[in-house]
Structures are given as C-alpha cells and as structure tokens.
Amino acid sequence: MDDDRIDTGRSETEQAIMDATLRALAKHGYADLSIKNIGTEFEKSTSLLYYHYENKDELLLAFLDYIIDLFVETIDPEADDPDAELRNFVEYVLPPEGDLSTCESVPPGVPEPVADSGSVDPFQRAIFELRTQTVHDEQYRKKFRRMETHMVETVATLIAREMESGHYREMNAEMMAENLMAFLFRSLDVRVTGTRLESAYAMRDSVYFLLDNVMPKGSHPGEAAARDADGNDADYDG
Amino acid sequence: MDDDRIDTGRSETEQAIMDATLRALAKHGYADLSIKNIGTEFEKSTSLLYYHYENKDELLLAFLDYIIDLFVETIDPEADDPDAELRNFVEYVLPPEGDLSTCESVPPGVPEPVADSGSVDPFQRAIFELRTQTVHDEQYRKKFRRMETHMVETVATLIAREMESGHYREMNAEMMAENLMAFLFRSLDVRVTGTRLESAYAMRDSVYFLLDNVMPKGSHPGEAAARDADGNDADYDG
C-alpha cells in the first residue's frame, strides 16, 4: 500500500475517479462494486484507474479517505453559530421530517431498501457499507476510528462553546456529544439497513429533545418529558 | 429456500450444527466462514450438514434464527422484577465495568480486534456480522427487523410495568426504550468494529444515567447532570 499516494491532495482525474466510484457504489452496492463498473461510470479510459491505483483495494481506500473528508466537512467546530451548526449537522444525518409513510412504502421482497435509499444520502450509504469492513480490516478501522473521534470531538467543541457563551446549561459536553452521535449513528444505521425505520424517527425526536429541552439554559426537560409521556412528541419547534 | 425446515424446532444434530457454526464464525469471522471450516468444528460427518441444509446460505439463515432466538431469550418482558431484568440485559450488552486498559491493549496491526473479542460475546459478534447482510438481503432484513422491534417492545414493556408499579416516573416508555437500545447498539457496534471503544464506556455511563438518574421516580437528572458536568461520572451506584 502506497499510503502517500492516498493521502495526497486529489488531482482533477483522481476527483473524477472518486465521483465515478460513488456513482458505481450507489448503483451496484459495495458487494458488487468492481473496477469494471467503476470504469463504466468513469468518462476516461479505465486504464487511467490502474495508473492512479494499483488495484480495487487501493482505490477503495482512497475512496474511503474521500468520503470521510466529505463527511467531516459537514460540521465545522469553528462555525460562527455553534447551535445552528449542530442543527444543520443533525438535519443532514436524520431522516427528513415527516411521518413513516415513505418508509412503510418499501415494497416487501425488494432486494435492497430502494424506496428508502432515495432519502439516504449516497455518501452516508457508502460510509456505512465501507464501515462494515472495519471488523476485519485494520486500515479501515484506523480511518473510521479517526473519523468518529473527530466527529465526537467536533460536536463536543460546539456544545462547549454554547456553554461558555451561556446559551447551554452546564453539562458534560463530551458525554452529550457521545449521546447525540449514538442517536445519529442509530438513525443512519436503521435507514441504510432498513431494519427498523421507525427508530430513525424516534432518534429524530430524541436528538431534538436534547437540543431543545435538555441543552438550552432555562429549558425544562422534566416538563417536556411529561408532555412527551402524555403521548405528544417532545416539543421541538424551538 | 425451505423456510419450514428453518423455522421448525432444532433436533440434537441441528443444535450441534449451530454450535459448530458459532465456533467456526468465532474462529474465522463471517468473511472466511465456509461449510468446510464449519465441518471441521462439527464432530459428525460434514455430509450431515448437507442433509440438513442445502447450502451455506440456508445454513446461515438457520444460524441467524438460532442466534436471534438466543439474543431474544436474554430479556423477558414478564420477569418478576422488571428493573432488575433491564439491568441484567444492559450488563449483558455493555462492556464490563472498568477502565479502557483492556481496549487500549488491542495491538495495532492486528487484522481483527482480537484483544477486544475476548470481551465481546461471540453471539453478539455473530449477530453484528450477520446484520451487515441486511443491506442487500431482504430475508436478513426481515429477520433483524422482527428482532429489533421485539427488543424495543420488550424494553418498553418492562419500563411501562415499573411506571405502573410506581417505581419509575411517568415517561414515554417506547421512546425511552428506543434511547436505551440506541446506546446499547452503539456500544455493541464500537466494540465489534473496534472503531471507538471509548464510546462503549460512554454508552455505559449514559445507560446507567437513564436507569439511575432519569427513570426512577424521585430521581433528580438535573443535579446528577451537574455532578457529571463537574467531571464526575453520573452516579450509577443506585
């Protein structure tokens, strides 16, 4: 593995290869991804793929770096408005607001949760599919460890900044970040696997319960939880 | 697929095949699992495997039913002491209490998180590895959907029973169950993938924060959170 080649900035051609790989992954899924169907999505000669990457494994590691970069760019620890940045980030990961109808319309017997994949960002699906490789690939594991630690620390930084500015109550920012990320990972997981889409909407309520009823100074989690217990959703209209 | 054969009770031989499959999966991982190395773990003739299951796919679907049954049996909605049942269940899924030393001792470069697998129940690892198949296999998706819905509903039932008996405060039991399961899935996920083991211990604190400081009637989440913000763990010694 020539890690230098992977970690360097991307040339125009490398960028085009990454785009082609994402299109191929979205069309064929990780299991059926091949240099051949990546080449089909690539406007230039397939031989260029081999010029830039020795083999499929090396191309996929470069692609993993690429989508991790893209995911990491979805949240900025130095954003002017930390609370707004957190809300933009959770909206990027959570299912679109609404009822379960789109989810329940997944036709039974469809080999992939196609009806849902429309609402799952291809980047997010790609990240999920590549992440399953961590179980038996140390390189993948290291890359995801770095990414997940970065995401938790970025969320914790944004929370801490709102605590310092007096908008959020005093709390363990790191622990709150772990909880938010656990809800977001669960939401992403059930949407990509299609195992329990209701949970993705439950996670949406849970995330906004923290953002609106637990984290803001002067909010009243108890009362909100009581409202929730009465059968209403946690009030997350701000 | 002869689904009847899969859903019927297990004969002594079928049980022995399931045990052999689990041993083979623990040794070789899902990627390298084969009828051959299952046969190696099986005390009787490999031909018996083919007598009971047409092929590896059918054997693995039967194995999935087997480990789902085992996982489902780890929590009983009708347990005499619902709170104790919840605590036993979370202890089964969460990493053992203690510091990160065991996790940090995972030697870099090891192709699998071997050092951690000791602390991850082989059933749990098997469930995680088989679950990744849901992305492109409708049969797997249906089985996991049924299991995850059953687990959430069982946890919600236990919570509701403690609410009725006056031990837990009024809350949305279904939502609390979704949150607990999200923390437990995240804990299991990071332990099996080895991506961010610190998160498994954060999830441990989060689960006990709910069990000890949020759910019990008369508990004071705010004060506990303030203690937590002071840098101490949430008090979960009851």
In this structure, of A99-103, A209-213, B71-75, B78-82, the range with the lowest mean pLDDT score is A99-103
The reply to whether residue B193 touches residue A135, judged by beta carbons under 8 angstroms, is yes
State the pLDDT at residue A28.
Answer: 82
pLDDT confidence of B12, banded at 50, 70, 90?
A: confident
Mean pLDDT of all residues in A96-108: 52
Backbone angles phi, psi at A156, to 5 degrees: -60, -40
Cα A236 to its chain centre, rounded Å, is: 22
Arithmetic mean of pLDDT, A60-66: 92
Q: SS3 for B168? A: strand
A231: region left, alpha or beta (phi > 0 left; psi from -120 to 50 alpha) = left
The ipTM is 0.83
Is 80 exceeded by the pLDDT of residue B109? no
To the question of pTM greater than 0.90 for the whole model, the response is no
CA A63 from chain centre, in angstroms, equals 15
Q: Do A228 and B175 touch (CB under 8 A)?
A: yes
Residues of chain A positioned with their CB less than 8 A from the CB of B144: 193, 195-196
Q: Give B223 or B50, the one with higher predicted confidence.
A: B50
HSE at residue B14, side-chain half, CA atoms within 13 A, is 18
Between A117-121, B8-12, B207-211, the lowest mean confidence (pLDDT) is in A117-121
Band (pLDDT 50/70/90 cuts) for residue A233 is very low
Portion of chain B with pLDDT greater than 90, in percent: 54
Q: Mean pLDDT, chain B, as a whole number?
A: 83
Q: Which of A110, A149, A195 sits opposite B196 (nearest CB)?
A: A149
Beta-carbon separation of A195 and B225 below 8 A:
no
| Per-residue pLDDT at A67 exceeds 50 | yes
Q: What angle do CA A101, A103, A105 make, to 5 degrees?
A: 70
Which of B153, B171, B172, B174 to substitute to test the interface with A, most A CBs within 10 Å?
B172
Interface test with B, best of A32, A139, A178 (most B CBs within 10 A): A178
Put simply, the answer to whether B148 touches A186 (Cβ < 8 Å) is no
Q: Which of B2-6, B15-19, B127-131, B210-214 has the lowest mean pLDDT?
A: B2-6
Asked if pLDDT for residue A226 goes beyond 80, the answer is no
- Alpha carbon distances (Å) from A57 to A40, B84, B151: 18, 48, 37
Residue A211 tokens, joined: 């953002």
Residue A144: pLDDT over 80: yes
The pLDDT value given to residue A70: 86
State how far the Cα of A189 lies from the Cα of A149, in Å rounded to an integer: 18
What element of type H or E holds A200?
A: helix A197-209
Among candidates B138, B189, B199 on the partner chain, residue whose Cβ is nearest the Cβ of A109 = B138
Within 8 A of B113 by CB-CB distance, chain A residues are 135, 141
Residues of B within 8 A of A185 (CB-CB) are: 186, 189
Judged by CB atoms closer than 8 Å, whether chains meet at A171 and B144 is answered as: no
What the block records as the tokens of A203 is 């996670």
Please give, rounded to a whole number of angstroms, the shortest distance from the CA of A141 to a CA of chain B. 6
Please give the Cα distance from A149 to A154 (Å, whole number): 8
Query: Residue ranges per domain, chain B?
Result: 68-237
Q: Which one of A129, A149, A203 has the shortest CB-CB distance to B135?
A: A129
Cβ atoms of B201 and B95 within 8 Å: the answer is: yes
pLDDT of A213 strictly over 50: yes
Contact A195 B144 (CB under 8 A): yes
- Whether residue A171 and residue B131 make contact (CB cut-off 8 A), yes or no, is no
Torsion angles phi and psi, residue B222, rounded to 5: -55, -50
Q: Which CATH number applies to A68-237?
A: 1.10.357
Dihedral sign, CA of A18, A24, A30, A35?
Answer: negative
B151-185 pLDDT, tens digit per residue, is: 999 999 999 999 999 999 999 999 999 999 999 99
Instruction: Produce one character per residue of A12-32: b if its CB has 16 or more CB atoms within 10 Å, e if not.
Output: eebebbbebbbbbbeebbbee
- What separation, in Å, do the N-terminal and C-terminal C-alpha atoms of chain B show? 50
CB-based contacts of B98, cutoff 8 Å, min separation 6: none
Whole-number pLDDT of residue B233: 45
The minimal CB distance from B171 to the residues A128, A178, A225 is found for A225
The CA distance from A19 to A100, in Å, is 31
Residue B130 to residue A193: CA distance in whole angstroms: 12
Cβ of A112 within 8 Å of Cβ of B203? The answer is: no
The alpha carbon of residue A137 is apart from the nearest alpha carbon of chain B, in Å, by 6
Distance (Å, whole) CA B8 – CA B66: 11
- Alpha-carbon distance B12 to nearest alpha carbon in chain A (angstroms): 31
Q: Cβ separation of B226 and A144 shorter than 8 Å?
A: no
Q: Which residues contact B171 (CB under 8 A, 6 or more apart)?
A: A225, A228, A229, B159, B163, B215
Residue whose C-alpha is closest to residue B122's, from B23, B221, B43, B1: B23
Two structure tokens written together for A197: 């889409």
User: Running DSSP on this structure, what letter comes out for residue A97?
Assistant: S
CA distances from A46 to A20, A49, A50, B229 (A): 11, 5, 7, 55
The DSSP result for B49-99, as a single string, is HHHH-SSHHHHHHHHHHHHHHHHHTT--TT-SSHHHHHHHHHHHHSPPSS-
What does the pLDDT look like over B47-96, one tens digit per residue? Answer: 889 999 999 989 999 999 998 888 888 999 999 999 999 999 999 999 88
- B21 min Cα distance to partner chain A (Å): 18
CA dihedral B80, B120, A142, A173 (to 10 degrees): 30
Nearest-by-Cβ selection for B193 from A29, A131, A149:
A131
Residue-wise over A128-156: b if at least 16 C-beta within 10 A, else e? bbbbbbbbbbbbbbebbbebbeebbebbb
Band of residue B8 on the pLDDT scale cut at 50, 70, 90: very low
Spatial distance between the Cα atoms of B3 and A105, rounded to a whole number of angstroms: 25
Query: What's the DSSP call for residue B25?
Result: H
Query: Among partner residues A30, A174, A183, which is closest to B182 by beta-carbon distance?
Result: A183
B219-233 average pLDDT score: 65
Mean pLDDT, chain A, rounded, equals 83
pLDDT of residue A219: 83
Q: Tell me the nearest-neighbour CA distance from B76 into chain A, angstroms.
A: 21
CA distance B179 to A178: 13
Judging contacts by C-beta atoms under 8 Å, the chain B residues touching residue A130 are none
